[in-house]
């Protein structure tokens, strides 16, 4: 366990030093260049508040049938994680470019949709729906996003990226995992990958 904890910062440091510019597009699960994969010329970026995808919205505050493969999730949890996602993206991008409130010519607009979100531990919504559930139980957790990059209303590229956790034995899921460990790690990774696109 100690070895895993010591290795994690080294892994994160190695990831941070990965490819930049157009080469960074390969780090995403799927990158579709509608017009370009080169964003190095942009010095200003507008980050639109992330939103929940339709499937995630449809699950919010729903009481699910017993033994459902889906898990309960509250609107407040989704909103909380959307705010975290925006913070991660803005903090990372601000190290490389100027963040602006409005889009327009010469300004890259980042629109992020949270398409999947699962906790590593039972949420309050799940505990309320299933009183016998043990808070200490750990699951893989999930997070995935769709990102649209545009300029002045013109779509430039579409990105899809997921956490890629391989199971409970994945070293990123430690016994001390918090409620949203997988999601938080993915948000950080997405923010760093986006920033790498803008580096020359």
What's the pLDDT tens digit per position in 108-132? 999 999 999 999 988 888 888 777 7
CATH at 193: 3.40.50
Give the count of domains, the chain.
1
More confident residue, 61 or 34: 34
pLDDT tier for residue 4 given thresholds of 50, 70 and 90: very low
pTM attached to this predicted model: 0.86
CA distance 15 to 29: 15
Cα dist from 110 to 48, 50, 160, 166, 175, whole Å:
6, 9, 13, 28, 35
Parent domain of 82: 2-198
């Amino acid at each position: 366990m100690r070895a895993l904890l010591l290795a994690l910062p080294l892994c994160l440091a190695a990831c941070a030093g990965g490819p930049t510019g157009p080469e960074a597009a390969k780090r995403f699960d799927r990158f579709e260049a509608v017009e370009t994969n080169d964003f190095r010329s942009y010095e200003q970026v507008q980050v639109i508040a992330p939103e929940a995808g339709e499937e995630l919205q449809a699950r919010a505050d729903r009481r699910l049938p017993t033994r459902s493969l889906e898990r309960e999730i509250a609107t407040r949890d989704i909103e909380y994680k959307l705010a975290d996602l925006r913070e991660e993206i803005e903090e990372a991008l601000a190290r490389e470019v100027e963040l602006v409130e409005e889009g327009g010519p010469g300004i890259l607009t980042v629109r992020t949709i949270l398409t999947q979100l699962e906790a590593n531990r039972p949420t309050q919504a799940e505990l309320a729906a299933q009183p016998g559930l043990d808070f200490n139980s750990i699951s893989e957790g999930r997070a995935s996003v769709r990102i649209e990059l545009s300029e002045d209303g013109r779509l430039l590229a579409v990105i899809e990226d997921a956490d890629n956790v391989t199971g409970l034995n994945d070293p990123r899921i430690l016994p001390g995992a918090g409620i949203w460990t997988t999601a938080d790690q993915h948000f950080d990774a997405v923010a760093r990958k986006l920033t790498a696109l803008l580096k020359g």
